[in-house]
Each structure stands twice: as structure tokens, then as C-alpha cells.
Amino acid sequence: MAGQITGREAVLAALLSEQAIEMVLVDREKDTTEIRKLCEQHNIPLEEGSTNDLWRMSANGFVDALALTGRMPHGDLNEVLERGGTIWFFDGVTYSTNLGFAIRCAEVSGADAVILNVEKTHEERRTIRRSSMRADRFIPVVYSTTDEILKAAKTHNIRIVAVEDVGTHEPWDEDLTGDVMLVVGAEKEGISEQVLAAADACVLLPMDGFVPSYNLQVAVSVVAIEALRQRNLKKNT
């Protein structure tokens, strides 16, 4: 399960005891020389941030360092699906800024991976990365094809839950815990028929206005927060 170790002394103790750590973040304005040396010795990725960055990321307020545990920030399609957890699939979403916002939302709500089935140039991927606040430092972002994604999901017994207007019930009435792939599509085209046909469940967001749909960020945010709520509830019971 994903978590964090917060504070200089706690991170040092974890490094010295060789606890499993995927990444360490340090305040670039503070003296964290010992932590930096240990990360280099143990080949643990290290990222720098501002005091405000670490405050926003930390579960315990202002800290000089924090360590990421239980979430692997890298991996290919089969690796991320084999690990399981909460995985987002943005089906046919092409607008780079929207993708960046959606990846940021997936990461901050504790998802384990994001999968995309669109081709992007190097410059477009840079735009996605900037829009996501470089969330790909902490969560795998995998590019693949629809056929390969659906095949791998079946191989690894990942349940597919689509979010679409043709859904039969609302997200809070569906189990979003366990090994699950949450799917949203582009705002205009929606989720493809191929993916809808492969889905194990389809949920819809309630609407009571005349505009035909929410934008992508809203749909991802609503479902991401509900999935997080359900995971926390299950963890605490």
C-alpha cells in the first residue's frame, strides 16, 4: 500500500535500516547531505522541491524530507497491471493539457498507474508533464494500444469500470476498490465501443442541467475522490 515517511530523522532511519523506499524528496534549501549520500549509495531516486512543495506533499506539515513507499513510480504495461491497484485508462483523450490535469488528479488521489492509448510527440509529452505538475515522478504513465491494454487487463484479472453517460448506476454504488481500471474517454467522442464492450461495469455521473456533459477534469476528479474514499473506508474497517 502506498505511503510516505515524513521528516529528516524518520527518512534517515528508514534509509539506514534499508527499508524499501521508492523515492526520496528533499527541501532544496535545507541541508540534507546525509540523506543525499545514502540515496546515492542505495541507488534510490531523489527529487528536490521547495519548502512549499514538501509542505503540500507531506502528511505531517512542514518537513525537510519525505520518502515514498509502496508505490512504484515506473513500469511498462504488464508490470503496472501485474502490480494491480487503482489504474486509470484515458481512452482516446488527445488534448495534452487535459491529460496533464487528469494525470495530476490520478496521482494526488493515490492511483497506482495511468495508461494512455494515444500517440504523442516529444513536445506534447512535455506539455502533459508540465500540466500534471510532473506527476510522472510519482506514478507510471504508460503509452500503449487499446488492444494491448484490454488484453493485459484480462490477463492480470483487472476489473474494468467505465465512466460514461450510458452507465447504469452512480460511482458510489459501484465497488471501486481492489484491482480496478477506471476508464474515461474524450469529451466529444466518449469511451470507444471496443472498451465499453470489455467493461465489467459502467457508471454515470448524475447531471441536472442542459449542457450535455461535465468536462474531463470534473469526471476524473469525482470518480478519483470516490475511489479514494472507498479505499480508505475499506482500509479502516
- What string of pLDDT tens digits covers the 237 residues of the chain? 567 898 999 999 999 998 889 889 999 999 999 999 999 999 999 989 888 888 877 777 888 998 988 777 789 999 999 999 999 999 999 999 999 999 999 998 989 999 999 999 999 999 999 999 888 888 999 999 999 999 999 999 999 999 999 999 999 999 999 999 999 998 788 999 999 999 999 999 998 888 878 889 999 999 999 999 999 999 887
Residue 2's pLDDT is 62
Neighbours of 64 (CB within 10 A): 20
Residue 4's pLDDT is 83
In the block, cell 534549501 appears at 29
For the chain, the structural domain boundaries read 3-69, 77-235
| Helix, strand, coil percent values for the chain (each to nearest 5) | 40, 20, 40
Residue 213's pLDDT is 80
Please state which CATH number belongs to domain 3-69: 3.30.1330.30
Spatial distance between the Cα atoms of 62 and 7, rounded to a whole number of angstroms: 8
Spatial distance between the Cα atoms of 90 and 44, rounded to a whole number of angstroms: 30
Query: Does 3.40.1280.10 match the CATH number of domain 77-235?
Result: yes
Residue 70's pLDDT is 73
Residue 135's pLDDT is 87
Q: Return all residues near 56 (Cβ < 8 A) that are at least 6 apart.
A: none
Residue 16's pLDDT is 93
Residue 55's pLDDT is 85
Spatial distance between the Cα atoms of 76 and 34, rounded to a whole number of angstroms: 32
Residue 64's pLDDT is 92
